[in-house]
Amino acid sequence: MAWNYKVVTAVKANVSDAQFEINHMKAVEEMEDFVNGLGPTPDGIKCLVIESRDQRNFHCWTRDDNGPDRYDLTHVVWSGNATADTMTELLENGAIPCGFDLGGVKQDWTSGNQSLHYFRKIT
């Protein structure tokens, strides 16, 4: 079983917040299609979120297990201990963490809350 690599980018430089949200959703859907097309088992997904003020990148290594498992790439807004407890529960139920974004950082470095992105198995 070989590992495959893909990077998808959501551009946020010189675009409106609404356009960045569209770019983000397209990147998420593209990564979900990549992962689900290979049918990995949960231990066959390794993903990183790397963000700058200009773009958000999802780097993913996925094994081609050709199994029936399907995944959803989603996030939880990080807001302290309550979120840590929520993420602990998600991990106990098989979540595959990918990493934090910078909280919607804009070109002027203003920001919203950070989110922790993760894959969850669709049942």
Segments making up each domain of the chain, as ranges: 3-121
Both tokens of residue 114? 């950070």
- The pLDDT, as a whole number, for residue 100 is 87
Radius of gyration, CA atoms only, the chain = 15
Burial of 32 (0-12, 13-18, 19+ CB in 10 A): buried
Question: pLDDT tens digits for the chain (123 residues)?
Answer: 799 999 999 998 888 888 988 999 999 999 999 999 999 999 999 999 998 888 999 999 999 999 999 999 999 888 777 888 888 998 999 999 998 888 766 656 566 778 889 999 997
Query: CA-to-CA distance for 104 and 53, rounded, in angstroms?
Result: 9
- The pLDDT, as a whole number, for residue 111 is 65
